[in-house]
Amino acid sequence: MDIKQIFTNNQDWISRQLETDKNYFAKLSQGQSPAILYIGCADSRVTAEELMGLQPGEVFVHRNIANMVPNTDLSVMSVINYAVSILKVDHVVVCGHYGCGGIKAAMEQADLGILNPWLRNIRDVYRLHRKELDAIEDEGKRYNRLAELNVQEQCINAIKTAEVQKAVSQRNLTVHGWIFDISTGQLVDLNIDFQKITKDIAEIYRIDPS
Ligand SMILES: [Zn+2]
């Protein structure tokens, strides 16, 4: 790819935006008030705004390898804090995808250096759901199910945080677990019952809002 092409593309995009609305950038620069926080995989095939049909300003985005929400990762924790407490988003979405390289890498024995501790979080998800996963014979299907369960566990990690707990009880913030199917382009809601999960884990993780 000729990297200079990017700047040509950018100029074309500016022209198209201004054709539709000559005040587009003036409005955009006034501030943001997104309704959704999207936490997704860094995979180049799984974009955020494009697959949801949203425009700049409509979604606060965080992406990392395998859409993880590790409890001590300062980056994702800061994103959740800012999006929920300051921007006051109404929805927190964790979106995984089938055919995820991070999920696959976590299930292989190779030493991947700095990726080891990151991927170990996915191995923890496997350990929690080992019985169900080991019963799936087809390797591809097993990885895809792990991708779904990983979404569920990362949503739970988001629910464990004080700011999400506070926003759920005070202003009905909702958490969603989604999967993007690269082979069809379809976004699938995993319909995870977070009310039940929140109730189940409340005793362990509850932080009383002050
Ligand atoms: Zn991925």
The set of residues, in sequence order, having a beta carbon less than 8 Å from that of 67 and lying 6+ positions away, is 39, 40, 41, 94, 95, 96, 150, 151, 154
Greatest CA separation found in the chain?
Answer: 57
25 token code pair: 């950038």
How far, in Å, CA of 90 to CA of 99, rounded? Answer: 29
Helices (H), the chain: 4-20, 24-28, 49-52, 74-81, 101-107, 115-128, 130-134, 139-160, 162-171, 194-205
How far, in Å, CA of 143 to CA of 6, rounded? Answer: 35
Does residue 83 contact residue 89 with C-beta atoms inside 8 Å? yes
- Polymer length in residues for the chain: 210
Instruction: Taking residues 170-196, report their average pLDDT.
Output: 93
Residues noted as catalytic:
41, 43, 45, 97, 100
pLDDT band at 206 (very low <50, low <70, confident <90, very high): confident
> Ligand 1: distance of its center to the CA of 55 in Å?
23
In tens, the pLDDT along 125-139 reads 999 999 999 999 999
Q: Specify the DSSP class assigned to residue 108.
A: S
> Ligand 1: distance of its center to the CA of 77 in Å?
19
How far, in Å, CA of 198 to CA of 175, rounded? Answer: 11
Q: What is the pLDDT of residue 109?
A: 86
CB under 5 Å of ion ligand 1: residues: 41, 43, 100, 102
In tens, the pLDDT along 70-122 reads 999 999 999 999 999 999 999 999 999 999 999 999 999 899 999 999 999 99
> Ligand 1: distance of its center to the CA of 194 in Å?
23
> Ligand 1: distance of its center to the CA of 19 in Å?
36
Q: Computed from CA positions of residues 107, 137, 126, 73, in that sequence, does the dihedral angle turn out positive or negative?
A: positive
Residue 210 has pLDDT above 70, yes or no: no
How far, in Å, CA of 106 to CA of 126, rounded? Answer: 9
In tens, the pLDDT along 28-83 reads 999 999 999 999 999 999 999 999 999 999 999 999 999 999 999 999 999 999 99
> Ligand 1: distance of its center to the CA of 42 in Å?
6
Alpha-carbon Rg of the chain, whole angstroms?
19
20 token code pair: 């539709």
> Ligand 1: distance of its center to the CA of 117 in Å?
16
> Ligand 1: distance of its center to the CA of 154 in Å?
14
Measured CA angle at 66 (ends 149, 138), to 5 deg: 50
Which secondary structure element, helix H or strand E, spans residue 64, and what is its range?
strand 59-64
pTM: 0.94
